Amino acid sequence: ALASLRQILDYAAEYGFAVPAFNVSNMEQVQAIMAAAHACDSPVIMQGSAGANRYAGEVFLRHLVLAAVEQYPHIPVVMHRDHAPAPAICAQAIQSGFSSVMMDGSLLEDMKTPASFDYNVEVTRQVVAMAHACGVSVEGEIGCLGALENRPDDEHSRLLTDPDEAVEFVARTGVDALAVAIGTSHGAYKFSKPPTGEVLVISRLKVLQQRLPNLHFVMHGSSSVPGEWLQVINEYGGAIPETYGVPIAEIVEGIRYGVRKVNIDTDLRMASTGAMRRFLAQPEHAAELDARKTYQAARDAMQALCQSRYEAFGSAGHA
C-alpha cells in the first residue's frame, strides 16, 4: 500500500538515512525507480509536479503509482505532490489519493513572487489541518531556492532559510517536513564550477538541526548533474554547456544534519536523454523502428542512477 511521507521519514531518521524523491511523469521512470528499489530493497518516494500532471494527466499518474504498488507490494511507496501552489491544489491531490503534499507557500500562487512569512504560515497551516485529518503528510518550505553564485554576499543570508523563522514556522504550522534553501536550485544549471561552501551552504543545515533536532529536512534541487551523462549527451549531438550540480558527498553530509528527503528530477532527465541519444546514434540501430528498444535504454540508465542514489543516501536495505 501507499505509505505516508511521515512514516517513511520517521523511520529514516531513526536509522540516519535519507530517501531520494524522484519526479515522475511516465511509465519508464516509475518502472526504473521501482526496479532499482526492488534490487536494493529501498523504500520509494515518487512525486508529481504540475508539469507532470499536464504531461501525463492526473488519472494516468495515479494509476502508474498504483501499478507500482501492486507489482511491488513489499516496497513502501509514497506518492507526493511536489510544489503545490495553493491549498486547493493540495486538496485535489489528497482527493486523488496522494499520501503526501508539499504546500509551497514560500511563493505566491503565481509561483514567482516571494510570499510573506505570514502568508506562508497561513496557507501551510490550513493544508496541515486538512491533510492530517486524512492521514496525509505535509512538506512546507521557507527561504528562497536559487543560485547564490553571482549574488553579493549580503544577499545570501536573506535567501537562505533563517533558523529563527524555521523554528517559528514549524511551531505555527505543524509540518512533517521542511524544505530548506541552502543554495540549491532546480534544473541543470546550479553552479558554473564545483560548488564551495559559500554557494552550497550545507553548514546552514547544521545550525537548523541544532534548533530543530526532530524535524525532517528536505533538499530540493539536489540533482548531481553527472559529468559522465553530460559528456554522453554532448558526444551524441547534444549541446549542454559546462555545469555542476550538488555533489553526492555534500548530500551525504546534509543527511548527517537531518536531511531525510532529497529531490531529484534533472538527473533522471540526463540519464534518459543521454541513453536515448547514444542508442539512436549507433549505426546498427539506424534502421531500428521499435521505439521500445530506445525506451529500454533510457529505463536501464535511469534504474542504474536510482540504485546508486538509494545506496549513497543509505535507504538501500530499509524497504
Residue 106 touches which member of Na ion, ligand 13P, ligand G3H, none, C-beta under 5-8 Å by kind: Na ion
Cβ atoms 256, 15 nearer than 8 A: no
The contact pattern for ligand G3H, residues 21-50, with x = CB under 6 A and - = no contact, is --x-------------------------xx
Rule CB under 6 A: say whether 265 interacts with ligand 13P.
yes
Q: Is there a binding annotation on residue 318?
A: no
Q: Which of 307, 315, 313, 252 is nearest to 43 (CA)?
A: 315
**Angle at CA of residue 159, ends 156 and 165, nearest 5°:** 120
| Known active-site residue 267 | no
Q: Which residue(s) pair with 259 in the sheet?
A: 217
Residue with cell 551552504: 201
With CB under 6 A as the contact rule, the residue among 25, 42, 53, 222 that binds ligand 13P is 222
Interacting positions 202-241 with Zn ion (CB under 5 A): 220
Rule CB under 6 A: say whether 3 interacts with ligand G3H.
no
With CB under 6 A as the contact rule, the residue among 76, 105, 195, 221 that binds ligand 13P is 221
Query: For 316, phi and psi rounded to 5 degrees?
Result: -55, 135
Of 3 and 225, nearer to ligand 13P (C-beta) is 225
Rule CB under 5 A: say whether 278 interacts with Zn ion.
no
With CB under 6 A as the contact rule, the residue among 4, 23, 29, 106 that binds ligand 13P is 23
Q: Is there a binding annotation on residue 28?
A: no
HEC sequence for 91-145: HHHHHCCCCEEEECCCECCCCCCECCHHHHHHHHHHHHHHHHHCCCEEEEEECCC
Q: Is there a binding annotation on residue 222?
A: yes
Cβ atoms 130, 103 nearer than 8 A: no
Interacting positions 86-145 with Na ion (CB under 5 A): 106, 141, 145
3-state secondary structure (DSSP) of residue 2: strand
Residue 221 touches which member of ligand G3H, ligand 13P, Na ion, none, C-beta under 5-8 Å by kind: ligand 13P
Catalytic residue annotation: 82
